[in-house]
Amino acid sequence: MVVDTYQKNDYKKYINRIPSRESILSFLKEHKNLINQKKIENKFSINNQEDKKALHFRLKAMERDNQIIYTCNRYYIISENLNIVTGKVIGHRDGYGFLRTETLKEDLWLSIKQMKLCIHGDIILARVIKSEKKGRNSAKVLKVLKPNNVLIVGRYYVEKKIKFVIPDDNRFNFKIFVFSSTLTKKLAIGSIVVVKLNKNFLKKKNKIKGIIVEILGGKEMRTTLAIDIAIRTHSIPYLWPKEVKNQIYEINDKIDQKELKNRIDLRHIPFFTIDEKDACDFDDAIFCKKKNNEEGWDLWVAISDVSYYIKSDSPLDKEAIKRGNSVYFPSLVVPMLPEKISIDLCSLNPYVERLCVICEMSLSNQGELIKYKHYEAVICSKGRFTYDEIFKIWNGDIKLCTKYNKLLKYIKNLLLLQKVFKKYNISKKGIYFENLETKFILDSNFKIKHIYKHIRNDAHKFIESCMILANIASARFIKKYQYPILFRNHDRPTEDSVKNFRMTLKELGLSLSGGEVPESVNYSNLLKKIKNRPDYEMIQTILLRSMKQAVYSPENRGHFGLSLSSYVHFTSPIRRYPDLLLHRVIKNILFELNNYKKDFKKNKSFKCNLYHINDIKNIGIHCSMTERRADEANRDVMDWLKCDFMEKKIGNIFTGVVSNVVSFGFFVRLNKYFIDGLVRIDSLHDDYYYFDPVRLKFIGKSTKNIFRLGDTLKVKVVSVNLHQRKIELSLYP
């Protein structure tokens, strides 16, 4: 029986004089609109003050037991009377916002008025208000369920002795009035600080209050400060808790010899690690050889056994889940695991014994996966190479060939297998992107010295193919034993996305085959067709925008981009938690297979005693979020670096290509630096320009001039706003 908490002492004598819960619920059901307490009092003829108090406590108890909802503007309602959703508030710099939910396809509009009842990052309960026109549905805030308790970074100011902070993240579109503290006494105006909001701030009166908890720096920005701001703005955990430090201290640097006896000894095999020149950790190594009968290849992918050191539910494990993944910035890495693990015990350094989980694969002469097996092993890497070194050796670099003469045979085996991958393509129907990555060379102050286009060579593509094959084999292994695990899902694009992408292609004189529901191969064929076009990179970027984001989920929905029915992440347990989780499950299956073979033959499956499906689901949602969080934080820092670099180029003239068109202007990517700047449409004074949102172009009313995607233009750098990370351009006659 539900009992009202207030039914004690003084209020017991009033309990019979106020309506029952059932009566209140019946009254609320009759009224579709919001009802305040006064109307309830009038309905049940409650007049004296004590009865009003008793009614108030009864309503509070009903709210606590989820029988009714108490809204932020002091009204009551029952959920069945409203179209109610729960979601996360996404603020906008112009004061309005959106509500992102898991149940609705589109975000809901939050007006400026509604945004006064919540802030960016809040989890709220809201009522869906359907649009009378064909536009976006809106949301009405009913209640803040989980306030955004993140620390907010901003600049400190004082006006008329009133101290306040203006947030650096313009989605927090308000001032924070700060309490005086020891930190504010000698604080210079314009300093960058971290503020903790007062939980009881009065948002409706625009009096948001907080206290400064950290000073990050003065007025002058630098790369390290930009990174500090990004870490705190995106709530990235960067300090190791005491419990983690204690656990790290207790981990033995030497491998237990008993552990080696339980593993397959592969120390005689010449594994290599192949990574970028500036890589910090080396968690994968490979080796391959032609089969003796010349019918195919044997490929070993060795992945560091991080799960040996990170036990489930330990302090290290809890912190790894919290972080979700490592975050990479220019000049700094915020690792998922402490350095003793990530760059020491679990890094496959040359000539050091390391514990690994192996995926051994048998491939056909066409590079197709025929057989595979997983097992625990110990290896000893025979070399640490960069992609460029391997590529140069494959192309006969005399100096490197001489230096690595003893390993030349094995390195050339990699080249022979890469030729197979290149000829037959392991994901024949998948979308193959040419990742033309922009690389920065930084000076001693970690600022951009030089920018160049980093084109992946065949060594990059070879390692990528090996890792994809290991992931495919691991997905098949998991499906076979039906364990709950996180699949890497990439859903097909929505109908609207396909339609809009086709509209864009039409403007460029191109088309996408495949009918109403194109497959991955149709996108792949398009990319092959346009490979030699000067606007290839721009079209590839638009294609990527039309795709859905890949996510982690225990529900296997396949990987559209790779055209695979199932896919998992196996190859980076040092820097991605889903990979670490997968390793634990694989090792658990291997243990059960070795100990309960007879039982398996009867049942054909085991019950996983590691994770519950709901736990897996929650970890997947969290890790998908931390992945996006890392991307956004890195983008913030890269945008600041670009603006800092371009500030010295104000007044210069460049040639560029229109890379994106939005309602307020179009972005031009500078050919020389691969950096985007905005040409505002209101800066064009020769005509009035209409925006065509479907075909993504501007059309002059009188002149009929058109600005569209792919146009080559001459532009001048007009201004750079370091604070807002924006570069503005103007057309050059």
Q: Which of 72-81, 233-242, 371-380, 659-668 has the lowest mean pLDDT?
A: 72-81
What backbone phi and psi angles, to 5 degrees, belong to 210?
A: -165, 180
Per 3-state DSSP, the chain is made up of helix, strand and coil in percentages (nearest 5) of: 35, 25, 40
Give the pLDDT score at 12.
52
Domains (range + CATH), the chain: 9-79 (1.10.10), 83-146 (2.40.50.140), 152-220 (2.40.50.700), 242-486+568-621 (no CATH), 650-731 (2.40.50.140)
Q: How confident is the model over 580-593, as a mean pLDDT?
A: 93
Q: Is the pLDDT reported for residue 638 higher than 70?
A: yes
CA–CA separation, 532 vs 530, rounded Å?
A: 6
Consecutive H or E run containing 208: strand 208-217
Q: Cβ(381)–Cβ(352) under 8 Å?
A: yes
Q: Whose CA is closest to 394, among 430, 367, 422, 358?
A: 422
CA–CA separation, 706 vs 76, rounded Å?
A: 54
Q: Is the pLDDT reported for residue 300 higher than 70?
A: yes
Name the one residue in this structure whose structure tokens are 């820092």: 637
- What the block records as the tokens of 2 is 């539900």
H-helix segments, 268-343: 315-323, 339
Angle between helices 577-595 and 613-646 (to 10 degrees): 150
Q: Is the pLDDT reported for residue 33 higher than 70?
A: no
Query: How do beta strands 284-290 and 208-217 pair?
Result: unpaired
Angle between helices 21-30 and 49-64 (to 10 degrees): 80
Residue 387 CB burial class (10 angstroms; 0-12, 13-18, ≥19): buried
Neighbours of 681 (CB within 10 A): 18
Q: Give the distance from CA 138 to its chain's centroid.
A: 26
Q: Residue 105 region, left (φ>0) first, then alpha (ψ -120 to 50), else beta? A: alpha
Q: Is the pLDDT reported for residue 207 higher than 80?
A: no
For 96, residues 6+ apart whose C-beta sits below 8 A from its C-beta are: 109, 110, 111, 112, 115
Q: Which of 432-441, 453-462, 480-489, 573-582 has the lowest mean pLDDT?
A: 432-441
Neighbours of 722 (CB within 10 A): 14
Give the pLDDT score at 312.
92
Question: Strand, coil or helix: what is 642?
Answer: helix
Identify the bridge partners of residue 177 per DSSP, sorted by sequence position. Answer: 164, 209
Mean pLDDT, the chain, rounded, equals: 87
Q: Is the pLDDT reported for residue 317 higher than 60?
A: yes
Q: Taking the model in full, what pTM does it have?
A: 0.85
For 642, residues 6+ apart whose C-beta sits below 8 A from its C-beta are: 448, 673, 675, 725, 727
The string over 258-280, giving b where at least 16 C-beta atoms fall within 10 Å of a residue's C-beta and e elsewhere, is eeeeebeebeebbbbbbbeeeeb
Q: Cβ(56)–Cβ(14) under 8 Å?
A: no
Question: In percent, how much of the chain has pLDDT > 70?
Answer: 92
Task: Please provide the DSSP assignment of 573-611 as one string.
Answer: TTTBHHHHHHHHHHHHHHHHHHH-HHHHHHHS----SS-
Consecutive H or E run containing 621: helix 613-646
CA–CA separation, 616 vs 620, rounded Å?
A: 6
- What the block records as the tokens of 168 is 């650096």
Name the one residue in this structure whose structure tokens are 């014994």: 353
What backbone phi and psi angles, to 5 degrees, belong to 491?
A: -75, 155
Long-range contacts of 706-711 (CB under 8 A, 24+ apart): 707/658, 707/661, 707/666, 708/507, 708/658, 708/661, 709/504, 709/507, 709/508, 709/535, 709/538, 709/542, 709/658, 709/659, 709/660, 709/661, 710/508, 710/535, 710/538, 710/539, 710/657, 710/658, 711/657, 711/658
Q: Which of 195-209, 391-405, 444-458, 631-645 has the lowest mean pLDDT?
A: 195-209
What is the length of the chain? 733
Q: Cβ(111)–Cβ(138) under 8 Å?
A: yes
Q: How confident is the model over 469-490, as a mean pLDDT?
A: 93
Give the pLDDT score at 7.
46
Q: Whose CA is closest to 17, among 36, 56, 44?
A: 44
Which DSSP state fits 522? H
pLDDT band of residue 145 (cuts 50, 70, 90) is: confident
